Chains A and B, each alone.
Chain A
Amino acid sequence: MGVAKTDRFEKRVEELDSDLSRLDEAIRFAEHQLSEFPTAGIPTSIPGLYSFPIRLPTRTGQVRLSIFYLYDGKDVRFMDLRPAEP
């Protein structure tokens, strides 16, 4: 199964990418996982909308983010990417 990405998601990645050098690797991993196991994320209260939590190393420790994606039983679409709130 392929994974589609919305323009909104791609824009978020561009915004964050300069600070997080390994974001692309983590997103490729999420794509790989969800193409095999689309429900591997955590379901939200919105039907079909999931969060796939990731973390990335930084110079001082780590940063946590969530990929929000839709799965309609057939396709996976990455909708948004957001840093975790403290």
Chain B
Amino acid sequence: MSVTEAGSVPVGKAPLEAGKPDTDSRPPARGLRGEAARRFFRNPMAIVGLVLIAIFVTVAILAPWIAPYSPKDNSWLSEVRPGVYPGPSAEHWLGIDPLGRDVFSRLVHGARQSLLIGVVSLTLGATAGVFLGLLAGAFGGWVDTVVMRFVDIMLSVPGLLFAIAVAAMLGQSLTSVMIAIAVVNVPIFARLLRGEMLGQRTADYVLAAKSLGISRAGIVFRHVLPNSFTPILVQGTLTLALAIVEAAGLAFLGLSGSDPSTPEWGRMLNDAQSTLAAAPMLAFYPGLAIVLAALGFTLVGESLREALDPKMRR
């Protein structure tokens, strides 16, 4: 109980009564979710994260309207000479890159690419992972063994390497990057959901549902799955941050869409490598963009985890 609540016990009552719960002065009853939401929104980390996500998503969606020029427009090539890259000006807020393109426009459109890769790979990976986890958790026995061995094998290769292998196999395209990152996410969600389901197997409401004669599918889909939603949500938010960083890493290594003029933060950073001494800001902008976008999702994910953790309840 917080200090204000403790202090709000009405005065003037008999001393023995003072310690008893007073229905009138208690805060309105809140469910577990409401309690968690209150904790979440009181956390400054969560607010900063939400603001960062809001900016990132808005820029990504409204990119064509925010960017003053097309990201592929290289009309300013004549202004670029080796070693001289025009810096920020009224027309070009963040300057021009070595290929004569507007850096700000490319950065804004890069957000779109990042969000697209992040959301699609998360959705694919989480869906497949949840499905596998569901199989393992619901059936148990040999299904569980097979699925979990498979998950172990996938986890035996470090994530980035796995993504590299898949992307290299599928060839240079946006789809292959998305699939590569999605594949890395599959074992994470599978293991998470299976663990959740094992934990809930002996929960009272599952036993109650069983004793009422509800079918296994009914229990899994109507009770266990909805109750596993919050850890998946937390993991999903954190995974989105990872996906953005991983996509940038793949692009940095040359594994991204087939069109090199597509604005992508990782590739912009890689391109800036050759002009690091002359134009360091060309590397700094996309790098900062990756950090801020990933940080937004990480902050929200961590705050969610904290808010939903029953141990943190006071």
Chain A bound to chain B: no
Residues of A within 8 A of B (CB): none
